[in-house]
Structure 1
Amino acid sequence: MSITLRDYFPETDEKTVIDFHLELMKEHFRLWAEINGEPYNKEQSDQALVDRAEADSYAKELREKYSKKSCRMWVLVDAPEEVPVGFLYVEIRPNWHTGKLSGVINEIYIDPNYQGRRLSSQLIKEGEAWFREEGISRREVFCTSNNLAAVKLYASFGYKVADYRMTKWDGTE
């Protein structure tokens, strides 16, 4: 098994990357329920993605961002069959608070069957190398606080907590 990284191609990768995104969103729904002390309901989460038309919305975002100079996307593939097993989507944009350009990790995904092999580190290194090539020294990533593996990973690359979003659920709807 040989894992390689290549550029994202909308014609061949869009459906798979959308599936990756939906899986990532389902995991985030589970994490958000956990952090809020709410029961997690998989069927409800799946339906929320349908109701929001999340797949179509993300497809539109990918198409809009793909050709922009300020954005890069890569797919991690298991060669020689070129089976996609991961995805990285990064962007350079002004920081909301400072207005200074920042390299943002918008999305990183590794197929669960391939996790634990330091592939996320490979993707982050690729994204950070691109940020450096573009002259961007500031970096950002948004991470759910109870996604401990991701928090630890980003911290190992020098990321630190910059702010907190606090939530509360009183147990009623």
Structure 2
Amino acid sequence: MPVPSLRELRGEDAPTIQSWLHTYLAEHLAWWQQVYGAPPESDLSELVQRNWQELMEAGSPRQWVRVIGEAKPQGIVLAETRQDRYMGFEVGVLSWIYVEPGARGQGVAAALMTGANEWMAAQGVRGKEVFVTAQNVAAVRLYQRHGYQICDHRMLGR
């Protein structure tokens, strides 16, 4: 089964993408809450709305958001560029990627990663980075398959 091509984010994608954002953010907040031993002070619904707005507004020359799936989204990716504060050169940042659970294992994540990496290369970045929660083993494996390697550990404490 061929993987659909990447397309721009559309307003009618809101119900699907906002549902994904809710799942994604709730999962991450739970991981961080476990480590910090305290509930988040952020409102999940407000976080979902703010992240949706940011996705809809992404489109400057330094941001790239794409969806895969024509009739209904199967996945989404957001990539950005920024100047690394220590290295001094432009790096590509894989900011967010999500694949619909029913579409996993069908090449959707690979297509999103390939698209983001190609966009970053076209921007002339000298490096790429992604921040990933250690418990998200599937994501770590995906990034490693696409040439990313672990070099830091973000550690949280109380």
TM over 0.5: yes
The answer to whether 1:18 aligns with 2:18 is yes
Alignment of 1:141-160 (within 5 A): 141-160=130-149
Q: Give the distance between the partners of 1:144 and 1:62, measured in 2 at CA.
A: 21
Give 1:15 deviation, angstroms: 4.0
Q: Give the distance between the partners of 1:114 and 1:59, measured in 2 at CA.
A: 21
Q: Give the distance between the partners of 1:96 and 1:16, measured in 2 at CA.
A: 35
Q: Give the distance between the partners of 1:6 and 1:167, measured in 2 at CA.
A: 35
Please name the residue that 1:161 is paired with. 150
Matched letter for residue 17 of structure 2: V
Q: How many residues align?
A: 157
Give 1:6 deviation, angstroms: 2.7
Can you give the 5+ residue segments of structure 1 that lack an aligned partner in the other structure?
Answer: none
The answer to whether 1:139 aligns with 2:128 is yes
Give 1:33 deviation, angstroms: 4.7
Preserved contact between residue 145 and residue 151 of structure 1 (Cα < 8 Å): yes
Q: Give the distance between the partners of 2:37 and 2:102, measured in 1 at CA.
A: 28
Give 1:117 deviation, angstroms: 2.2
Query: What is the aligned-residue identity percentage?
Result: 25
TM-score (ref. length: structure 2): 0.83
TM-score (ref. length: structure 1): 0.77
Please name the residue that 1:49 is paired with. 44
Can you give the 5+ residue segments of structure 2 that lack an aligned partner in the other structure?
Answer: none
Give 1:113 deviation, angstroms: 1.2
Q: Give the distance between the partners of 1:94 and 1:64, measured in 2 at CA.
A: 20
Instruction: Tell me: CA distance 1:99–1:14, structure 2 relative to 1, closer, same or farther (3 Å).
Output: farther
The answer to whether 1:119 aligns with 2:108 is yes
Matched letter for residue 73 of structure 1: V
Give 1:26 deviation, angstroms: 1.8
Please name the residue that 1:69 is paired with. 61
Moved over 3 A (4+): 30-34
Structure having the higher Rg: 1
Give 1:65 deviation, angstroms: 2.0
SS in 2 for 1:166: coil
SS in 1 for 2:110: helix
Alignment of 1:89-108 (within 5 A): 89-108=78-97
Q: For 1:83-135, what per-residue CA distance to the aligned partner results, in whole angstroms no more than 9, with x for missing partners?
A: 11110111111224323211111110001111122321111011111112222
Q: For 1:59-85, what per-residue CA distance to the aligned partner results, in whole angstroms no more than 9, with x for missing partners?
A: 33123323x0111111111x5xx1111
Moved more, 112-121 or 24-33: 24-33
